Amino acid sequence: MKLAVEALQHPQGARFSSSVCAMIIMLLAALHCITRIFSRTLTLNAARIVEFRIRDDLFHRLTRLDIGYFSNSRSGDILSRFSNDLTNVRMLTGFGLMSAVNTLLIYSAAVTMMIRIHPQLTFWAILPFPLMVLTVKRVSHRLFHRSLQAQEELALLSSQAEETVSAVRLIKSYCREEYFQKEFGKTAERYLRHNLRLARLRGIIIPVMATATGAGTLIVLFMGGRLVISNTITLGDFVAFSGYLAMLVWPTAVLGWILTLAQRGAASMSRLAGILGAEPTVTDHPDAQPITTLHKDIEARNLSFSYGNTIVLNGISFQIRAGETVGITGEVGCGKTTILRLIARLLPVSSGMLFVDGRDINTITTRSLRSLIGYVPQETFLFSRSVADNISYGIKDDHPDELVIKAARQAGFLEDVELFPDKFATQVGEKGVTLSGGQKQRLAIARAVAGNPPILLLDDPLSAVDAGREEEILNELSKFYAGRTALIVSQRVSAFRDCHRIIVLKSGLIAEQGTHAELLHQGGLYAEICRRQQRKQEMFTA
């Protein structure tokens, strides 16, 4: 542009004609366009790859964490980190990084060329910029905390939405729609309030940038014009200098946006680090060895466990022989479910307390131990897939169809499947929404026995099953128990019909243990449980 202006002023003494300068400007503009396309494509693609890898690491970390972590975390909060926080990190590593590099390059090149034209004019032109930097620095600290608060509120909002959708049937049953609308509205208002405060801070930064740029332009017009009049610099120099200053306008304005992205990205990354930095409490010992079969007992020696300050198991000892079926019952909160979770290594246990096949459970690799176990948890969970997919989950056989049918029969579920429109291909819906409570439990039992495990852990598996179907399931399971070690946790004593022994817990201790007949003869806690259930049954049948 400088050469073009000088060519127009002095055509005879110019190095290039104005037409040549115009062609060069057009060529440079085309090269600039091509460079921008490639730089943006490469940078934004790189940001997508970063996002993909972080998301992959997050999911990998979540699958390694224990149930204790998820007990203390909201599902909506975790989902918010996967979506909103990752988006902020991607924006920072993509547009943010690209704009930061672009700003650095333009500032370095433009200011250098401005100094070559006139150092004093450059000094006065960029004098307002340090004031801008100081103002932005003061705002940036508050911007980080406001961004973090906004992200936390968004996570809470996502959690409430997820919880409401999951419990929509319960909400409608109790006519609580207005209450949840109000609660969601309160959270949404807080989120809006935090974002408005964040917007006000961003609103301070952008005018400061524009003021600094505008002040520099005024200085150049006033001082630069006087220098041209006094022939200190040429008109071409003035045009070039103004062009360089104009190049700083957008990088200066975008600096505030970069700062916002940086603070939001930093806040989001600190939230993502909460997952990436979490460590599982159940880990394999460096010297742990796999286990392939169960020939010996499952033994507890002075087994203790507590959730925080709440003691659940207080030094209990028992022995379950290989191939034995044992029932566990007792009052609510006495530690029945905890025992099953400890055997499956879903919870950490101290060394020397729990032994499987004569080996300390901590010396066995978790993967090999769980591959021997068929587990039916108290809270039945089904995947939003077909009946066959849910039953065959975990089967490592090339021809699972026969195993699926056999497992459904053993769980007393085959008759239900035959009534479904698509048989085993029937979709169960999200969390098994299309099935009844009893059908969900029977499907969960089928899933546990499908892999033909040598150890079967059943946590209250018949709580939602009616009496007639219970008899059918127990008859089928009694055949499956043969030669396998089975532990059955239940409040219903009818589930212990085929048990060799029953353990009765009370307040984290073993109150009684023995066969059904022996415990009835003792007339203790188990006998009282049987009497209560018998009275209830008589009341319902009367």
459 and 448 assigned to the same domain: no
For 341-355, write each residue's pLDDT tens digit: 888 888 888 888 888
pLDDT value at residue 30: 92
Q: Which of 276, 307, 335 is the last residue of a domain?
A: 276
pLDDT value at residue 141: 64
Q: How far apart are alpha carbons 326 and 23 in whole angstroms?
A: 91
The pTM assigned to this predicted structure is: 0.67
Contact of 317 with 302, CB cutoff 8 Å: yes
Q: How far apart are alpha carbons 483 and 325 in whole angstroms?
A: 9
For 129-177, write each residue's pLDDT tens digit: 777 767 766 676 677 677 777 777 777 777 777 777 767 767 776 677 7
The whole domain housing 459 covers 285-372+455-470+485-542
pLDDT value at residue 540: 56
pLDDT at 462 exceeding the cut of 80: no
167 and 227 assigned to the same domain: yes
445 and 461 assigned to the same domain: no
Q: How far apart are alpha carbons 226 and 72 in whole angstroms?
A: 69
pLDDT at 437 exceeding the cut of 60: yes
17 and 91 assigned to the same domain: yes
356 and 268 assigned to the same domain: no
Instruction: Judge whether 478 lies within some domain.
Output: no
Q: How far apart are alpha carbons 213 and 223 in whole angstroms?
A: 15
What CATH number is attached to the domain comprising 385? 3.40.50.300
Q: Which of 276, 306, 322 is the last residue of a domain?
A: 276
Instruction: Judge whether 367 lies within some domain.
Output: yes
Instruction: Judge whether 308 lies within some domain.
Output: yes
Q: How far apart are alpha carbons 427 and 226 in whole angstroms?
A: 81
Q: How far apart are alpha carbons 155 and 162 in whole angstroms?
A: 10
What CATH number is attached to the domain comprising 246? 1.20.1560.10
84 and 145 assigned to the same domain: yes
pLDDT > 70: what percent of the chain?
Answer: 90
Q: Which of 220, 247, 276 is the last residue of a domain?
A: 276
Strand 298-307 versus strand 373-376 pairing type: unpaired
62 and 211 assigned to the same domain: yes
pLDDT value at residue 31: 92
Question: For the chain, what is the mean pLDDT?
Answer: 79
For 37-60, write each residue's pLDDT tens digit: 888 888 888 888 888 888 888 888
pLDDT at 397 exceeding the cut of 70: no
Q: Specify the number of domains making up the chain.
A: 3
Query: DSSP string covering 130-176, please?
Result: HHHHHHHHHHHHHHHHHHHHHHHHHHHHHHHHHHHHHTHHHHHHTT-
Instruction: Judge whether 91 lies within some domain.
Output: yes
339 and 390 assigned to the same domain: no
